[in-house]
Chain A
Amino acid sequence: MLAHLPVLQVLLPLMAAPLCLFLRRPYLVWIFTLIVSGLAFLISISLLQQVMVSGTLVYEMGGWSGPWGIEYRIDKLSAFLLLIITAMSTVILLAAQTSIQKEIPENRQIYFYILYLFSFTGMLGIVSTGDVFNVFVFLEISSLSAYALIALGKDRRALWAAYQYLIMGTIGATFILIGIGLMYQMTGTLNMDDLARRLPEVAQTRTVFAAFAFFIVGVCLKLALFPLHLWLPNAYAYAPSIVTAFLAATATKVAVYLLIRFTFSVFDLSFSFTALPLQTLFVILGLIGIFVASTAAIYQKNVKHLFAYSSIAQVGYMIVGYSIGTTMGLMATLLHLFNHALMKSALFLALGAVMYRIGSVQLSSFHGLGRQMPFTMAAIVAGGLSLIGVPLTVGFVSKWYLVLAAIENGWWPVAVLILLGSLLAIIYVWRIVEVAYFKEPVAGTDGVREAPMALLMPVWLLVGANIYFGVDTRFSVDMAQAAARSLFGVSP
């Protein structure tokens, strides 16, 4: 049984999704989805333990080995990502039924859960597989379901946002596919391990260069790296709250994973950083992304928009860490992956609670919420502090390592700019605090009460995690370090 865990990780939610159609009652489907996600979480823990003890796990689909069949290959990096995705999904699902009831009509709720499970499956599939074409197939599963999930939003603009995302996402996916096709043409293989062995022979050809360029641009679209981020704010803002929380916590992380996987494991690092001026390009784009998106966040009137722009800025931090190109930098990126998932899921879920009570997340409707919904607002403040990077929160830990990595590499200006970026975060978080705590409630909203427990509990679970992993950093730092070291080929 233990040997089958790599495939079960993906197969379980995959098979569960069509089964939902047979259950017919939204409530039952929710329980079922929650159980499936919980089991997937347990599997990912077990996988992580196996990987830490015995190294990379390989699972051959259909019993066909190596480049002929498809294989799953789970190393420390994949196991870490699997853990993040399944954990986030499970906590967010706890709140799903309550939040969905207000935002999605009853006859569509079952479809919502099916699409959710598919999106979940797709991301797990991308992370586990060791075959580049299989990556594309699962990318399609996860993004197709994500488009539909976003379009389910109550606001009519959700359809337009989903359409924009669909067009941009499809262009991204096509670019990735062209990249994969060209790689196959030059090497005759689709297996990542095999590609890594065969690519250096043809690395100097123009075709491989084009393959690499197409792939990078495609992934950056998915990643929402500045200036390819335009689809993200609307998609996040108009999607149902649960979907926003889920996608914000996982989707961009998977894209970062793809970037790391391809540049480190498929193409080797020396090629990746020399074929294109990738390092300089990414540092500049990452930094511009941090400043432009943070500044844009300050001027938003819709709080979901505000945090969506902040997500783009956070992607900027991850990319800066990545492009430092040292073990330390990569470790900071991975650490921030984990930490950012915690922050953003907590924040967007808390916004879900606000949506549940007030039916709007416009900044103007936050007046006096600090008194009306004290626990929800406290959670938003805690999440915001974490976003800024105040000590004792996870945000501090990732910024700390990021700055250390920059300094270690002698990139003083970058370190300073990272800290300046945090100042912008203070401004946009303060705007919410100011409105919620220092303004009188709008007339006619006296009846607003605290959100129900079903929503508060997961929110505070995540806030708790934000603080816990901010104080006790052993697990996250060790994991990120182990994964980064294994990618650089350093024995731990």
Chain B
Amino acid sequence: MTFLICVAVAIVRVKDLFAVAMLSGIYGLLSASLFITMDAVDVAFTEASVGAGISTLLMLTTVAMTGRTEHYVRHKPLLALLVVFVTGALLIYATLDMPYFGDVLAPANLHVAPRYIQDSMREIGVDNIVTSVLASYRAFDTFGEVVVIFTAGIGVLALLSFTRRPEDDAEISSDNISMHEQNMIVRIVSKILIPFILLFALYVQFHGDFGPGGGFQAGVIFAAAIILYAMLFGMGVARRAINQTFVQLFAAVGVLLYGMVGVASMLNGGNFLDYNVLSEDPVAGQHLGILIIELGVGIAVAMVVIIIFFNFADRIDISKHKADKKI
């Protein structure tokens, strides 16, 4: 906790944006460890892969685009400070009547949760209760979350995408190859690592039934491997390997896959996302449904993260390119 506060203060004080991005990565990792001490392993896993991993990366790409130092701001944000204080005070005020941490008699532990803990094994048959809550009891929320991520991807596309001219493309990729020749060791090491990262992503994807993990984390890890590749071997090479239109369509397929499971259960006479009707045996149906929707989540998340990264990186290429031409 103390570390967390220190890092937060540091983020506000430091003017170097590069350091800020790194610090926020540390912040992510610290909160992930905090979640582990609170026994929320699944949340910790997500925070570690998203907060400490991908979002730091995206911030760094942005910094590469905008320049490294913060502009000096003259006005004193007194009003904002006041709002923050009032909010903080209200939050502390709220804690006064809260049940104690880990209290067995807390309402959150007495009402809905017992059924999840006692009956989910019989009703869904998945070892990881978090997965059964996310993917079955509250599957519709998870569907919504996937759509949120997809929306973010489309938003980035709508604002940053542009039709690229082929001659630009050729020039940019030639630049990149010469630039990346230097990092020999890093390249070889990561070349060995990338297959393992991809493999780990698949493990996380399909192991979500038993341990912490699932589609969200797997998708992010998968995308991280691709991004690593793109960073080391140059955008040009990566773009030749991965077709952008294909990535977009696949992101849509991921979302649709999730939705289609729901539609399939409707056609089989159940309610939307009722996996029980997917198979003769309800528990087998639950398994099948969870497997497919997790796959849909994984695909959609991975593709959206790749879309966002590629579009950011394209912008950097173009802005660099323009700067070069001016000189």
Nearest B residue to A208, CB-CB = B97
Say whether A206 contacts B256, CB under 8 Å: no
Quick one: closest B residue to A107, CB to CB?
B163
Query: Known: A18-B256, A61-B272, A141-B151. Contact between A210 and B90, CB under 8 A?
Result: yes
Bound-state Cα–Cα, A205 to B99, Å: 11
- In the complex, B91 has a CB within 8 A of chain A: yes
CB B296 to nearest CB in A, in angstroms, measures 11
Whether B144 and A145, one on each chain, are in contact in the complex, defined by CB atoms closer than 8 angstroms, is no
A214 and B273 in contact, given A18-B255, A141-B144 (Cβ under 8 angstroms): no
B271 touching A61 by the CB < 8 A rule? yes
C-alpha spacing A431/B95, complex, angstroms = 53
Q: Does B145 contact A (CB under 8 A)?
A: yes
**Which chain B residue lies CB-closest to A109?**
B158
Select B137's contact among A62, A107, A198, A207, beta carbons within 8 Å: A62
Is B147 among interface residues, defined by CB-CB distance under 8 A?
A: yes
- A-contacting residues, B258-283, CB 8 Å: 259, 262-263, 266, 270-276
Q: Is A111 an interface residue (CB 8 A)?
A: yes
Q: Which of B116, B266, B276 is most buried by chain A, counting CB atoms within 10 A of its CB? A: B266
| Residue A36, interface by CB 8 Å | no
Known contacts A60-B271, A185-B108, A198-B111: does B99 contact A152 (CB below 8 Å)? no
Q: Contact: B95 with A133, CB < 8 Å?
A: no
- B291 at the binding interface (Cβ < 8 Å): no
Do B137 and A68 touch (CB < 8 A)? yes
The 0/1 profile, CB within 8 Å of B marked 1, for residues 183-200 of chain A is: 011111110000000100
The one of B144, B150, B152, B248 in contact with A137, judged by C-beta atoms closer than 8 angstroms, is B144
Selected interface stretch from A7-15, A285-293, A347-355, A439-447: A7-15
Name the residue among A14, A59, A62, A107 with the largest chain B CB count within 10 angstroms: A62
Residues of chain A within 8 A of B275, CB atoms compared: 62
Which chain A residues border B248 with CB–CB below 8 Å?
Answer: 21
A207 to chain B: which residues have CB within 8 Å?
94-98
Is A108 in the interface zone, CB < 8 Å from B? yes
Task: Please count the residue pairs between chain A and chain B whose beta carbons lie under 8 angstroms apart in the complex.
Answer: 163
The answer on a CB contact under 8 Å between B150 and A18 is yes
The answer to whether A213 and B99 have CB atoms under 8 Å apart is no
Q: Say whether A100 faces chain B, with CB atoms less than 8 Å apart.
A: no
The majority secondary structure among interface residues of chain B is helix
| Docked-complex contact A148 and B158, CB < 8 angstroms | yes
| Residues on the B chain within 8 Å of A133, using CB | 138, 141
Q: For this complex, into which size category does the number of interface residues on chain A fall? A: 35 or more
Query: Is residue B93 contacting chain A, with contact meaning CB distance below 8 A?
Result: yes
A64 touches B136 (CB 8 A): yes
Q: When the two chains form their complex, are residues B259 and A63 in contact, meaning their CB atoms are under 8 A apart? A: no
Known: A141-B151, A148-B159, A213-B90. A68 touches B141 (CB 8 A): no
Partner of B110, one of A14, A112, A188, A214: A188
What is the chain B residue whose CB lies nearest that of A18? B252
- Mark A151-178 against chain B: 1 for CB-CB distance below 8 A, else 0: 1100000010000000000000000001
CA distance A184 to B110 in the complex (A): 12
- Indicate if A360 sits at the interface (CB-CB under 8 A): no
CB atoms of A187 and B111 under 8 A apart:
yes
Closest Cβ–Cβ distance, residue A244 to chain B (whole Å): 17
Q: Chain B's nearest CB lies how many Å from the CB of A420?
A: 30
Give Cα distance in the complex from A70 to B272, angstroms.
11
Closest to A138 in B: B144
**A268 touches B (CB below 8 Å):** no
With a cutoff of 8 Å between Cβ atoms, the chain A residues found around residue B91 in the complex are 178, 210
0 or 1 for each of B143-159: is its CB under 8 Å from A? (1 = yes):
01101101110110111
User: What is the CB-to-nearest-CB distance from B68 to chain A, in angstroms, rounded to a whole number?
Assistant: 21
Within residues 1 to 27 of chain A, which ones have a CB less than 8 A from any CB in chain B? 4, 7, 11, 14-15, 18-19, 21-22
Query: Inside 8 A of A91's CB, which chain B residues have their CB?
Result: none
A62 touches B107 (CB 8 A): no
When distances are taken between beta carbons in the complex, the residues of chain B under 8 Å from A233 are none
Q: What residues of B have a CB within 8 angstroms of the CB of A151 in the complex? A: 155, 158-159
Bound Cα distance A19, B260 (Å): 12
Q: List residues of chain A with CB within 8 A of the CB of B273.
A: 61-62
Contact B271 A7 (CB under 8 A): yes
Q: Hey, what's the 0/1 contact readout for B56-73 against A, CB within 8 Å counting as 1?
A: 000000000000000000
- Contact partners of A68 in chain B: CB under 8 A: 112, 115-116, 137
Q: Is the CB of A115 within 8 A of B151?
A: yes
Residue of A nearest to B107 (CB): A188
Q: Does A67 contact B (CB under 8 A)?
A: yes
Q: How far is the CA of A123 from the CA of B259 in the complex (A)?
A: 18
Contact indicator A4/B266 (Cβ below 8 Å): yes
A48 on the B face (CB < 8 A): no
Judged by a CB distance under 8 angstroms, whether B140 is at the interface is yes
Complex CA gap A9/B210 in Å reads 35
B161 CB–A CB distance under 8 Å: yes
A189/B158 in contact, CB under 8 A: no
Tell me, in angstroms, the Cα distance from A7 to B272 when the chains sit together. 7
Asked if B121 CB lies within 8 Å of chain A CBs, one says no
Q: Quote the shortest CB–CB distance from B30 to chain A (angstroms).
A: 20
With a CB–CB cut-off of 8 A, which chain A residues contact B36?
Answer: none
Given contacts A59-B271, A187-B111, A188-B113, contact A11 B262 (CB under 8 A): yes
State the CA gap A125–B272 with chains docked (Å): 14
A112-B158, A206-B97 known; A61 vs B139 contact (CB < 8 Å): yes
Closest to B282 in A: A63
Task: Assess whether B147 is in contact with A118, with CB atoms less than 8 Å apart.
Answer: yes
Docked Cα-Cα span, A151 to B154, in Å, equals: 13
CA distance A121 to B146 in the complex (A): 14
| Distance of A144 Cα from B148 Cα, bound (Å) | 7
Residue of B94, B139, B145 with most chain A CB atoms under a 10 A cut-off: B94
With A7-B271, A18-B252, A207-B94 known, 14 other A-B pairs at CB within 8 A are: A4-B272, A7-B266, A15-B259, A18-B256, A19-B256, A60-B271, A61-B272, A62-B137, A67-B112, A112-B158, A121-B147, A134-B140, A134-B141, A213-B90
Give 24 A-B contacts (CB < 8 Å), ordered by A residue: A4-B272, A7-B272, A11-B259, A15-B263, A19-B252, A21-B249, A60-B271, A61-B273, A62-B140, A62-B274, A68-B115, A68-B137, A112-B158, A134-B141, A134-B144, A141-B144, A144-B155, A148-B158, A152-B158, A206-B93, A207-B95, A207-B97, A210-B90, A210-B91
